[in-house]
Amino acid sequence: MRKILVPTDFSDNAMNAIQYALELFKYERSDFFIMNAYQDKIYADTTLLKNETLDTVTKIISDKSQEQLENTLKKIKEISPNPRHTYTIVSSNSMLMDEADKIVDEENIDIIVMGTRGETNDRKLTFGSHTLQILKYVQCPVLAIPENYKYTQPKHILFPTDYMIPYKRRELKLLCEMAFSYRSVIDALYISKSKKLSLRQEDNQKFIKETLCKNSINFKTISGKNISNTIYKYLKEHKVDMLVLVNTRHSFLESILFQSTIDKMSLHIDIPFLTLQNIRRC
């Protein structure tokens, strides 16, 4: 049983991410946790707080969250009456990252699926602040879906890697099974001035090949100094349906999340973005 957490703020972006997840995992027995963390909203409505007690405002926001979750669940069952899928709705008076981390731990979640931006939707940013927090700190793979992205089967997946980190078998297996469902081709892209791999890199490359053994993999090497721009160029020159990066110190993902102003202007990810977490779960 695949366990999938989908945070929602009831925006169009969040609903689009839900629909993508329903399609992506339509062939798998999956348990979806549809979660809304509303603590921010309690303190955001200053007008309401002036006129009502904190307990009253909390009750109002809590009731609205529960009602919207029930409406979301009704819509999900209308657009995707899939007998392989079961659903749990979670309304929580907490911060998004704290609640996501809690559910991931308690339910042993396999993957989080969410929009790249929420209801604030600053179009100048590739990722909203909430999505960035989840990407960087929650101990679980995260699949971020861009605004208005229409579901396309992930037939071609780009997996840039420097082969320097020991990958987690569970997370590579997740990628393997997702890709196998659609007979996807995976491009493992090594960006470096040198084509020669160290023994450590060769071992990690072998581990990738063995764990993704059910998939068609192309191991490629490209010379490049600016990692994020090289990835961006590859995405534009090839028909890629999903980008996969690993979150760890000094990784390709870190260079994108903590990029310079110039890089921010050049890298706008407009395809689903899967982040694997090289973080030990407690």
One domain for residues 162 and 129: no
| Number of residues written out for the chain | 282
Output the CA angle 119-121-124, nearest 5 degrees.
170
Domain that holds residue 16: 2-145
Output the CA angle 95-99-103, nearest 5 degrees.
175
Residue 151, in any domain of the structure: no
- Domain finish residue from 96, 112, 145: 145
Residue 10, in any domain of the structure: yes
Pairwise CA distance, residues 209 & 216, whole Å: 10
Query: What is the pTM for the complete model shown?
Result: 0.88
pLDDT-derived band at 45 (thresholds 50, 70, 90) equals confident
How does DSSP classify residue 98?
A: H
Please report the pLDDT score of residue 261 as a whole number.
35
One domain for residues 106 and 171: no
Across 122-140, average pLDDT? 70
One domain for residues 187 and 115: no
One domain for residues 136 and 172: no
One domain for residues 55 and 140: yes
Residue 126 to residues 150, 183, 214, 240, Cα–Cα distance (Å): 17, 29, 32, 18
DSSP 201-257: HHHHHHHHHHHTTTSEEEEEEE--S-HHHHHHHHHHHTT-SEEEEEESTTSHHHHHH
Residue 105, in any domain of the structure: yes
One domain for residues 263 and 206: yes
Query: What's the token pair of residue 30?
Result: 């999956």
Q: Could you give the 3-state DSSP secondary structure of residue 38?
A: coil
Residue 239 sits in a domain whose CATH number is: 3.40.50.620
Please report the pLDDT score of residue 232 as a whole number.
85
Token pair 């100094």 is at which residue?
Answer: 225
Pairwise CA distance, residues 192 & 162, whole Å: 8
Please report the pLDDT score of residue 251 as a whole number.
52
